[in-house]
Structure 1
Amino acid sequence: MTDELDSREVTPLVDEAVKKAAVCWVSVGKGPAVALWCLPLEGTLLVVSGPGEQSAPGLADADAAQVTLRGDHGGRIVTWPARVTRLQPGTEEWEAAAPLVAAKRLNASGPTADLIGRWATEGCALNRLAPAGTPVAGADLPAESLAEPPREAPVVRATRKPFRLHKVRRR
């Protein structure tokens, strides 16, 4: 196969994966990938982050990122380079995209208009992630597992032995 044929075959894969995406894994620079809630719109993904929203380190000021989309059973479908565009409040793009993202936001406190206003005033970033380059093809994916140990967090507790009401007899 030629590179031209590969890119034509992979592009529909990215388009289809983006259409069905609800969560994407985004890494900026050499940082770790972070799972983010997203909204697909016209072949791109919209992601909101900032105070009171999901944490996306470095994404608000980035120009490029790596996006990984997974299937229903957790397996990686495709990883592609993305062009990151921050939508600014008051622009035509913001006015079109922000209400769509706010309407799909789960567990939002208050009406959609208040949520959009909070995003604009508190410095939240509404970013558009658009495919920008050739996706990582199957042959380019690593053969070993990319699983990482859990990151340190203050909410992690030491595991205890399970409680047993009665003695367990061993035969």
Structure 2
Amino acid sequence: MYELLHSFIQQLFPQCQIDLTLVEPLLESRKVHQGEFLFREGDICDFVGLTLKGCLRTFFLKDGKELTLFFHPEQHTLGDYESLRRRRPACFSCQAIADSEVLIVNTQAIKVLETLPDGQKLLRLVVEDLAFQLRDCLLSLYRDSPEQRYVNFLKTEPKLLQRIPQYYLASHLGIEPESLSRLKRRLYHKEIS
């Protein structure tokens, strides 16, 4: 279980010298079955997580409609850091779209990390990772057309494309499933002509 955590840390912070044996007893592995929620909008999210297996999505409701912000396949962080730090209700939900396993880093583990050399820097990098994901998502929604967002998704996450239902992908792109079907047909016809 901790191999993925070590790998994640090495990607994020290669010079990290944290002795993870001090934190590992505080970590929890949580199984989340397809369709189950890791946390819901309005809950206090008292952890940050790392997907060990499977795939989850982060979404929120607007006018009764689900809008997907992120997908979290293996080695992706997740959580609502503001909810964790400020003890405020989460502003979105996190749901498994496949049977998943998530490494939970709770407040107790975070407090221990904060006392260790390199611990605060590691935590800052994790928070920056979450913030950069959100920034990229928001910029894309405002700058790019649905077609551009889809093409970018094809380039950056080709394997993930096979793992997520089309209606979640459409929600992530900010379009209806029918529009996604038309978009895919249009791109296919451009490709073959």
**TM-score (ref. length: structure 2):** 0.24
Calculate the TM-score normalised by the size of structure 1. 0.26
